[in-house]
């Protein structure tokens, strides 16, 4: 049954309306009232049953997926369309767009029988639903699907694909994998490799849309981003290129496998202890980062993370004090290198004595990164799947061995690492195997590497940490 004509299109003949409804591009232009770009129209018109949509920033990926879902459900009867994303927040992005388009369009809305933020039903018995992927696909297992859309597919666990794809077997219709190509790993990469590699099975149609193709992205903006980002970050985000995992100290597969779907919130639970790490901005593109972890026995969970851009020490201290009004933090570990010492002084005047200045350099920094990696491998550290900025900062760390056989962890000078370093500080404070005595740790380093300069360096350390309340013998009472 053909939908009745929209009031704004009453002059259309039945033949003209049928032509519009039969073309998703014409539907978008004449019914929704938008103008697709060339690549958006190509995606909309594709009848392929297996689609990979690789999209750079600002190309309108979410918009074109929303249009395709609406057109499919509106024109074709008894369609079951599932939108699946790694986190609740991400799952809401495309569905919110669908909801806004339908609710504001009188013609389309007049053919709905149910419209809320979980489900959209049309009078032709088609339905659009959105879900969070979860770890195993437990939230969507059992639902049928004639169109299955995985957004940010590179962040969805492989177990989810195995649980959900069989739901398409009944009718075997459309599967769309969309997102940014982060790392040659997982189901998203495997599908792309199948489609473009030497053993192309012909099952997949690939749309690769670089940011340079978007009419709203200027060359000036891209030039600025090239300066701001690492080469790998720019290749992934704007040129939609897959970057090798070789050399990464924190493999993305390891990072993503340690995530769960939850939102940050400031709260206290008496069964946990809370530790804050503060990595203070030093220069250039750095941001000051605040990360809070909750510790329960030997397990850790990031419960809050925030980056502060272009703020001074007073503003940073103000934000920390504001957090302390809501949460009790057992220890606040502050990067004490450079201007961080100034933040320590400000905080000690405004808060309690749980401020701990920490200097992580040399082997002690490598030891701290190694601890983070070990916790990820042991599934003792949980990260939020929705905080993609945090997750992708792990990719800015590479490693290599020196000529003497020592491992070095190298941070890309153009990449952001502040959140990961703040996490490292928080874990440093929470892990009972560490001493929190920056003075004596530095003295031990001096003794180990330059015995002849012990007395001079001790005097320097005493000047740097006068009357420090945390001075204690190494191995003394930990946090």
Tokens representing residue 291 in the block: 């990360």
404-420 residue pLDDT tens: 667 788 887 666 789 99
**E strands along 139-287, which residues?**
147-150, 174-179, 205-209, 259-260, 273-279
Phi, psi dihedral angles at 376 (to 5 degrees) = -65, -45
| Mean predicted lDDT score pLDDT of the chain | 82
pLDDT given at position 367: 87
Tell me the C-alpha distance between 280 and 308, whole Å.
Answer: 9
Please report the pLDDT score of residue 447 as a whole number. Answer: 41
Q: Which has more pLDDT, 261 or 70?
A: 70
Find out whether 86 and 385 touch, Cβ atoms under 8 Å.
yes
pLDDT tens-digit series, residues 370-399: 899 999 999 999 999 889 889 988 988 888
More confident residue, 464 or 204: 204
Query: d(Cα 447, Cα 443) in Å, to the nearest integer?
Result: 6
Predicted local distance difference test score (pLDDT) of residue 2? 54
User: In 10 A of CB 432, how many CB atoms?
Assistant: 10
Which among 224, 228, 268, 230 has a CA at the least distance from the CA of 247? 230
Count Cα neighbours of 459 within 13 Å in the Cβ-side half-sphere: 3
Distances (CA, A) of 175 to 25, 101, 207: 20, 23, 13
CA distance 190 to 203: 13
pLDDT of residue 96: 96
Angle value at C-alpha 427, between 233 and 363, nearest 5 degrees: 75
Measured CA to CA, the distance from residue 121 to residue 79 in angstroms comes to: 10
Whether 101 has a pLDDT exceeding 90, the answer reads yes
Whether residue 110 is predicted with pLDDT greater than 90 in this model: the reply is yes
* Token pair listed for 20: 């519009």
* pLDDT at site 434: 44
pTM over 0.85: no
Does position 459 have pLDDT exceeding 80, yes or no? no
**Cα 382 off chain centre by:** 13
127-132 sheet: strands from edge to edge: 112-115, 119-122, 127-132, 80-85, 147-150, 174-179, 50-55, 205-209
> Can you tell me the mean pLDDT for 54-83?
95
In this prediction, residue 442 carries a pLDDT of 43
Q: What is the pLDDT of residue 461?
A: 44
Please give the Cα distance from 285 to 91 (Å, whole number).
Answer: 30
**For tokens 């056989």, what's the residue?**
405
Cβ contact 428:418 at 8 Å: no
The answer to whether 426 touches 333, Cβ cutoff 8 Å, is: yes
Residue 41 CA to residue 68 CA, distance in Å, equals 10
Which helix (H) or strand (E) is 109 found in, with range?
A: helix 106-109
Highest mean pLDDT among 164-168, 274-278, 339-343, 449-453: 274-278
The pLDDT confidence band at residue 470, using thresholds 50, 70 and 90, is: very low
Contact 475, 373 (CB under 8 A): no
What pLDDT, on a 0 to 100 scale, did the predictor assign at position 436?
A: 41
pLDDT for 351 beyond 80: no
Strand-strand pairing, 127-132 and 50-55: unpaired
Would you say residue 10 has pLDDT above 80?
no
Around Cβ 425, how many Cβ atoms within 10 Å?
28
- The predicted model gives 290-315 an average pLDDT of 93
Residue 458 phi/psi, 5-degree rounding, is -65, -40
Please tell me which of 139-148, 373-382, 462-471 the model is most confident about, judged by mean pLDDT: 373-382
Q: Does the pLDDT at position 156 exceed 80?
A: yes
Q: Provide the terminal-to-terminal Cα distance of the chain, rounded to the nearest Å.
A: 71
β partners of residue 468: none
CA angle 118, 119, 124 (to 5 degrees): 175
pLDDT > 80? residue 138: no
**% residues pLDDT > 90 (the chain):** 46
Look at residue 227 and tell me whether its pLDDT is greater than 70.
yes
Tell me the C-alpha distance between 444 and 430, whole Å: 21
Helix (H) or strand (E) holding 294, with range, is: strand 288-296
Q: What's the rounded mean pLDDT across residues 8-16? A: 70
Residue 444 has pLDDT above 50, yes or no: no
304-323 pLDDT tens trace: 999 998 888 999 999 999 99
For residues 59, 64, 65, 68, the Cα torsion angle rounded to the nearest 10 degrees is -160
Among 293, 291, 299, 298, which Cα is nearest to 393's? 291
Residue 243 dihedral angles phi and psi, to the nearest 5°: -110, 135
CA distance 368 to 274: 18
Report the candidate in 279, 283, 289, 282 with the shortest Cα–Cα distance to residue 335: 279
Give the count of beta carbons closer than 10 Å to the beta carbon of residue 324.
Answer: 18
pLDDT tens digits, 178-223: 998 877 778 898 889 888 876 666 789 999 999 999 999 999 999 9
Which one is predicted more confidently, 472 or 28?
28
Q: Please give the pLDDT value at position 165.
A: 65
Give the closest residue to 389 by CA, choosing from 301, 291, 319: 291
pLDDT of residue 194: 86
Of residues 70 and 453, more confidently modeled: 70
Residue 251 is predicted with a pLDDT of 86
Hunting for tokens 């090239």 — which residue is that? 226
For the ranges 22-26, 57-61, 353-357, the lowest mean pLDDT is seen at 353-357
């Amino acid at each position: 049954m053909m939908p009745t004509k929209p009031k704004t299109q009453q002059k259309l003949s039945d033949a003209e309306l049928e032509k519009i409804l039969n073309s998703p591009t014409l539907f978008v232009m004449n019914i929704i009232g938008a103008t697709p770009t060339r690549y958006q129209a190509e995606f909309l018109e594709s009848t392929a049953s297996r689609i990979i949509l690789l999209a750079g920033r600002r190309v309108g990926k979410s918009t074109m997926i929303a249009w395709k879902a609406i057109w499919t459900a509106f024109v074709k009867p008894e369609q079951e369309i599932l939108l699946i994303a790694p986190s609740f927040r991400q799952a809401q992005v495309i569905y919110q767009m669908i909801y806004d388009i339908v609710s504001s369009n009188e013609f389309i809305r007049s053919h709905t029988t149910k419209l809320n933020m979980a489900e959209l039903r049309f009078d032709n018995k088609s339905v659009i639903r959105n879900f969070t992927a979860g770890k195993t696909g437990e939230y969507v297992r059992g639902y049928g699907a004639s169109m299955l859309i995985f957004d940010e597919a590179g962040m969805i666990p492989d177990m989810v694909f195995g649980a959900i794809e069989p739901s398409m077997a009944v009718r075997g219709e459309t599967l769309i994998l969309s997102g940014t190509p982060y790392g040659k790993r997982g189901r998203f990469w495997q599908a792309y490799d199948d489609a473009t590699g030497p053993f192309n099975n012909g099952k997949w149609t690939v749309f690769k849309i670089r940011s340079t193709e978007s009419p709203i992205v200027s060359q000036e903006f891209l030039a600025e981003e090239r300066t701001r980002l690492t080469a790998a970050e720019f290749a992934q985000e704007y040129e939609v290129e897959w970057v090798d995992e070789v050399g990464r100290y924190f493999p993305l597969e390891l990072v993503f496998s340690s995530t769960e779907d939850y939102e940050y919130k400031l709260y206290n639970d008496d069964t946990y202890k809370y530790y804050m790490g503060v990595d203070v901005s030093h220069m250039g593109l750095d941001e000051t980062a605040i990360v809070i972890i909750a510790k329960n026995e030997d397990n850790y969970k990031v419960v809050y993370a925030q980056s502060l851009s272009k703020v001074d020490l007073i503003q940073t201290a103000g934000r920390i004090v504001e957090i302390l009004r809501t949460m009790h933090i057992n220890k606040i570990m502050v990067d004490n290198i450079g201007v961080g010492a100034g933040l320590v002084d400000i905080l000690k005047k405004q808060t309690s004595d749980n401020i701990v200045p920490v200097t992580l350099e040399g082997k002690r920094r490598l030891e701290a990164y190694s601890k983070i990696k070990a916790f990820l491998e042991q599934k003792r550290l949980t990260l939020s799947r929705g905080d993609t900025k945090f997750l992708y900062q792990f990719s800015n760390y590479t490693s290599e061995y020196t000529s003497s056989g020592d491992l070095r962890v190298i941070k890309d000078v153009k990449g952001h690492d502040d959140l990961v370093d703040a996490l490292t500080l928080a874990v440093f404070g929470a892990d009972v195997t560490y001493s929190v005595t920056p003075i004596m740790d530095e003295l031990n380093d001096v003794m180990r590497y330059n015995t002849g300069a012990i007395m001079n360096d001790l005097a320097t350390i005493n000047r740097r940490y006068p009357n420090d309340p945390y001075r204690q013998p190494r191995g003394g009472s930990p946090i």
